[in-house]
A and B are shown apart, each in its own frame.
Chain A
């Protein structure tokens, strides 16, 4: 892991404009077993991740299920205690007021036994915000700002549509005027026509209240639309990171290209941006049993000798602030010229 300590993302923006800076973040989940219930193994869900998010921007974290992207979001919020690494966020008061989360499945993230108004006012109550009357007003104001008819506040979540539920989830998250929101696949359980509206709502809110987002998704086309900076995750590591245009116009890591190749083009312009052959073999390995060296080598069509050795470092791609963790970018190792 030593190469990670050198902070390969040093060259990414680290000015005062950065709201959040994460370095070497690790989260390992122990597996207990045996008669004594001792730790027998661990799942390295997040294994040394570094990134910074500039104020008011959206950082898109993309990857398939089990890659650790959700774990990162939850670890930032201290829903999981990190195993290692450092999180610095300037001027965050109590962390749970300034940082909030919108969950993936609004059917599960809203308590079915409570009414909308109680769900939205919960953060206000917990943090002792305002009087009863002020809280009621704030709930109306919040519902209004997420585009939810206020008369729905007496309903239970099961009486709302998926989009409405997610609006309630967003209202709850912004109740205390946080600076930073983790959006954990906020639209993946919604229909596309609803997803579009929720995405626009999130964009509006970002502009109005000056929010900074960590947008987690498995959908590259969506990330392309919402993020300013993108990190591609595979098995607990960020394998490629850069500005959104660079990632999508000039993808360098074979995994990024594999993800892109799985997209079904909508039109001819899409087709030009999508590699036409599917570029990953097999399925994601069990995170408990990761291959050594480059984690992607077992599925990579371009794998060659160095991939079995040490884990590859981050290599610059030539674009500004764009790096990928792949030996193909290393001129010493790479067999014959630029890979793509």
Chain B
């Protein structure tokens, strides 16, 4: 072996050597910066993502600070019949309803309810659907047959009607409404996750994990689940809009919150007899729903590219 060859070995050994802890931290910081740069690059390519995020942030802000920023926080419930329905004005930018309550304030408080309920419904439906989908896809065999046939059965029924039936059986209350929608919704995730798992399962890292001796649960949740998060997050985000519509729809029909709760669906329902004379009572809550759904759709569309930053 010539002297030059030995040099190579030495120089390689030098780069192998123990790194300074600072160096390690710095390289980890560099990774993070690079990640942010890539996410930002993807967002710039699809500006609607940024708009969606800003819209959602504004909703969250309003929901959190409703008591502070609402012009008439006392109007969230109660009534003021003497005042009656007032058209939009400086004092009441969106007018008041037939019971004299400031609609803008009620919409602000309603944002809390809609977002909160949406998150809870997706949380329940998502957890159930993802777990069952993972089991069906990864374990296969009998569990797969049972879960997927059950899913098919559910999917054969119109979701909203199913939720309606369940809500009607359980009786009107906020919690029952959420359970009813979650019950009708979990199959969406079970089916999506099942399909994705079937393809991710083919990857060798799943086999590598099995070769190490990892438990099935660990393989499902540590190896497979992170790799299906991208389509799953897109679906969850897009569904947030649909769930909020469903909640409002069932509330409109009287299966959710009871008046005087400032629920958007209830507000539309209350305004519907007066829509000719006092259009603002129904239209503004309706716009709030549209705004929310649009925001989540914008974000959902852009999310896929962002989620894949690590992988590409």
Residues of A within 8 A of B (CB): 74, 77, 79, 94, 96-97, 100-101, 103-105, 108-114, 122-123, 126-127, 140, 144, 147-156, 158-159, 169, 172
Contacts and interface: CB of A to CB of B under 8 A. Distances in A.
B205 A111 contact: yes
Most chain A C-beta atoms within 10 Å of own C-beta, residue among B28, B211, B214: B211
B46 interface: no
Tell me the interface secondary structure of chain B in the complex.
helix
Contacts of A151: 19, 23-24, 27
B209 interface: yes
Given A103-B204, A144-B18, 15 more contacts: A74-B207, A79-B211, A100-B211, A109-B204, A110-B205, A111-B227, A112-B205, A126-B214, A126-B215, A127-B212, A127-B213, A149-B15, A150-B18, A150-B24, A154-B28
B19 A155 contact: no
Nearest to B209: A122
The 10 A-B pairs at the shortest CB distance, nearest first, are namely A96-B213, A109-B204, A113-B226, A154-B28, A108-B204, A111-B205, A151-B27, A123-B212, A112-B311, A151-B19
Contact of A126 (B203, B204, B218, B227): B218
Interface string B29-43: 001000000000000
A95 B275 CA distance: 74
Given A113-B310, A151-B19, A154-B24, A97 B213 contact: yes
A109 B204 CA distance: 4
Given A113-B227, A150-B24, A158 B312 contact: yes
10 contacts: A101-B208, A109-B205, A111-B205, A122-B212, A149-B15, A150-B18, A154-B27, A155-B27, A158-B312, A172-B212
Contact of B16 (A114, A149, A172): A149
B204 A105 contact: yes
Contacts, number: 91
Contacts of B258: none
Given A112-B311, A156-B310, A103 B207 contact: yes
A108 B204 CA distance: 5
A103 B12 CA distance: 25
B223 interface: yes
Contacts of B212: 96, 100, 122-123, 126-127, 172
A266 B28 CA distance: 44
B16 A147 contact: yes
A111 B205 CA distance: 5
Contacts of B227: 111-113
Most chain A C-beta atoms within 10 Å of own C-beta, residue among B203, B213, B214, B229: B213
Nearest to B29: A154
Contacts of B214: 122, 126
A150 B18 CA distance: 7
B210 interface: yes
Nearest to A154: B28
A170 to B, nearest CB: 12
B74 to A, nearest CB: 49
A310 to B, nearest CB: 36
A94 B214 CA distance: 13
Contacts of A147: 12, 16
Nearest to A103: B204
Contacts of B31: 154-156, 159
Nearest to A110: B205
A113 B208 contact: no
A245 to B, nearest CB: 25
